[in-house]
Amino acid sequence: MPSTILSRRDLAFLLYEWLDVERLAERERFADHGRETFDAALDTAERIATDLFAPHNKKNDQNEPHVVDGKVAIIPEVKAALDAWSEAGLLAAAQDYELGGMQLPCVVEKAVSAYGMAANVATSAYLLLTLGNANTLLKTATPLQVERFVRPMLAGDFFGTMCLSEPQAGSSLSDITTRAEPDPQDGPDGERQYRLRGNKMWISGGEHELAGNIVHLVLAKIPGPDGRPIPGVKGISLFIVPKYLLDADGKPGERNDVVLAGLNHKMGNRGTTNCLLNFGEGQHRPGGRAGAIGYLVGQQHQGLANMFHMMNEARIGVGMGATVLGVTGYLHALDYARTRLQGRHPAQKDPAQPQLPIIAHTDVRRMLLAQKAYAEGALALVLYSARLVDEQRTAPDEAARLKADRLLDILTPITKSWPAQWCLEANSLAIQVHGGYGYTREYNVEQFYRDNRLNAIHEGTHGIHGLDLLGRKVSIQNGALFAALGEEIGATVARARDVASADLRGHAAQLDAAWQRVVTVTQAMYGAGDMNRTLANASLYLEAVGHVVVAWLWLEQALACPPDGGSEPDFYRGKLQACRYFYQWELPKTGPQLDLLAQLDTTALDMQDPWF
């Protein structure tokens, strides 16, 4: 039976037949690599995901972390799986050799991580958070901080968190109130110390016993000359606050003053601890005093910029999580549809005839095809974005790096948001294919649906990414990011105009028209002369442009298929049919959306609170 975690065939298609990942081995950083090492990493990931991640996915959901004697109890399978992942080198797969990594390209590492997430998104979250934390520190921390905190994280000995939100400050980070005051005493390593006090909310992985230490990356405000926090984002600095302070040998020692105040209980993603943390309330007294000891990362008041350095990659991670939930749900539904017998063709009037597998019903195939179009379209988007990270970092010429940087920047809100919306829809369709069984906890698909609902909220809500795309990414650098995206789409259109397939030429014309419409509409929106009105429908803009982008990547996939079907005609016919589905059923949805945007519709803007 084929795996229901991920389709290895599809991954190979995207990586090798479309994104030409093998050619990355021509670059110095990846000189030791090639398809063989990439495949070996994927093999390892698939094996560990199958053997250690997937088997406890439901158990973890049904036995969520809880507090016992002041510690967070987590089923033992989680630590066993995480340890195996780290020991196989997969956590640090993309990191420098000198940090214990394998120097795999980002795009391969993301495909590797996709296996863990598809098999068990809750357990994988600890890995993603740790990597996000480590990557942030690698960008701005001191060599000593890297040595003491990053190295053990990449080895899987310590785990990391990102502590941004507070109960009263979620989307509005400028309103955080956690304070960091200089400590009169320096740390044992001579580093300047701060004392942090405040509460952090929604901290995934915020407390557990899965690793020897927890390295919290914390946003906090250093008081200004008047002793009061500086209002707004300009007052925010970034700190390392370890759960256990390190001794001179770098071993976890004295307990720091950061404690669990409560666990949040979610609809999905239940296997990941999600915490309210109290900093500096004096439950522990490191160095004899209350206050959580923290170390400044980078310059003071640059905390948000430092934290957001790695946001693009973290957001690709969220996009990947949403995507692979869509993929695995689709594969589960496909498997069910091929084996569940129910009903007959409309024209078959003889009830004595045997029932058919439900995949024989057109409406079931529609639901499977939609899932395929959403999930594989999202996977293309996420891997394309990861490929841009490699390009941005290792492309031989400056212009290529700059272009990748621009494309990555403008695509990030879409890469984060589109899979959250449409792979959730895929998961809903996976339930629908299963009928009543899909709605029960005896099957797997309802959990995917619950897990996936988170992804439109964390790492910036859908609405925030709409504002990021329309209000910032589209206009910065004089529209250079937007123009770069248009160039890429135009290049694909140009290539598709010359192919033999009339279908693909038709898709190219549709895509070209849709993108031209996006350009015109974007100009019209910026011509409104009223920023409130321009941005009023930013979420809709995000959705419309997202659909055009995924249509583009479906055409890209179709162009990567051998016109004659090669030796696997079924596989490529499936790709082309999913592409056709996207152009027939999905891209046209942007028509009315772009109409609304072109009108600068004010229906929501005009609505008044008392009218509700």
Judged by CB under 8 A, the chain residues 458 through 497 that form the site for a second copy are 458, 461-463, 466-467, 471
State the Cα–Cα distance between residues 11 and 217, nearest whole angstrom.
33
22 lines the binding site for a second copy (CB under 8 A)? no
How near is the Cβ of 2 to a second copy at its closest, in Å? 10
334 lines the binding site for a second copy (CB under 8 A)? yes
Candidates 47, 71, 345, 497: give the one binding a second copy (CB under 8 A).
345
Catalytic residue among 64, 207, 376, 459: 459
- According to CB under 8 A, which residues from 442 to 461 bind a second copy? 442, 446, 449-450, 453-454, 456-458, 461
State the Cα–Cα distance between residues 533 and 600, nearest whole angstrom.
7
Rounded to 10°, the helix 538-559/569-581 angle is: 150
Candidates 338, 400, 472, 519: give the one binding a second copy (CB under 8 A).
338
- According to CB under 8 A, which residues from 364 to 423 bind a second copy? 364-366, 368-369, 372
Nearest C-alpha neighbor of 417 from the set 466, 472, 471, 482: 466
Contact in structure between 279 and 197 (CB atoms under 8 Å): yes
Contact region with a second copy (CB under 8 A), list: 44-52, 289-297, 359-367, 496-504: 359-367
430 lines the binding site for a second copy (CB under 8 A)? no
For 200, the token pair is: 């952090």
- According to CB under 8 A, which residues from 128 to 167 bind a second copy? 165
Candidates 359, 402, 476, 600: give the one binding a second copy (CB under 8 A).
359
How near is the Cβ of 9 to a second copy at its closest, in Å? 11
563 lines the binding site for a second copy (CB under 8 A)? no
At 227, the amino acid letter reads: G
How near is the Cβ of 519 to a second copy at its closest, in Å? 21
State the Cα–Cα distance between residues 201 and 187, nearest whole angstrom.
27
How near is the Cβ of 443 to a second copy at its closest, in Å? 10
For every residue of 178-237, which 3-state class applies, written as one string?
A: CEEEECCCCCCCCCCCEEEEEEEEEEECCCCCCCCEEEEEEEEECECCCCCECCCHHHEE
Candidates 293, 538, 544, 553: give the one binding a second copy (CB under 8 A).
538
- According to CB under 8 A, which residues from 493 to 532 bind a second copy? 531-532
State the DSSP code for 159: E
Cα 7 to chain centroid, rounded: 19
How near is the Cβ of 169 to a second copy at its closest, in Å? 8
Radius of gyration of the chain (CA): 25
Q: In the annotation, is 147 catalytic?
A: no
Between 12 and 596, CB nearer to a second copy:
596
Candidates 105, 116, 205, 438: give the one binding a second copy (CB under 8 A).
438
C-alpha torsion 480→494→503→522, nearest 10: 20
- According to CB under 8 A, which residues from 177 to 236 bind a second copy? 201-202, 231-233
For 251, the token pair is: 């071993």
- According to CB under 8 A, which residues from 69 to 88 bind a second copy? none
Contact in structure between 213 and 172 (CB atoms under 8 Å): no
State the Cα–Cα distance between residues 417 and 198, nearest whole angstrom.
30
Residue that has been written with the tokens 């494309």 in this structure? 407
What is the size of the binding site for a second copy (CB under 8 A)?
A: 99
Q: Which residues are catalytic?
A: 459
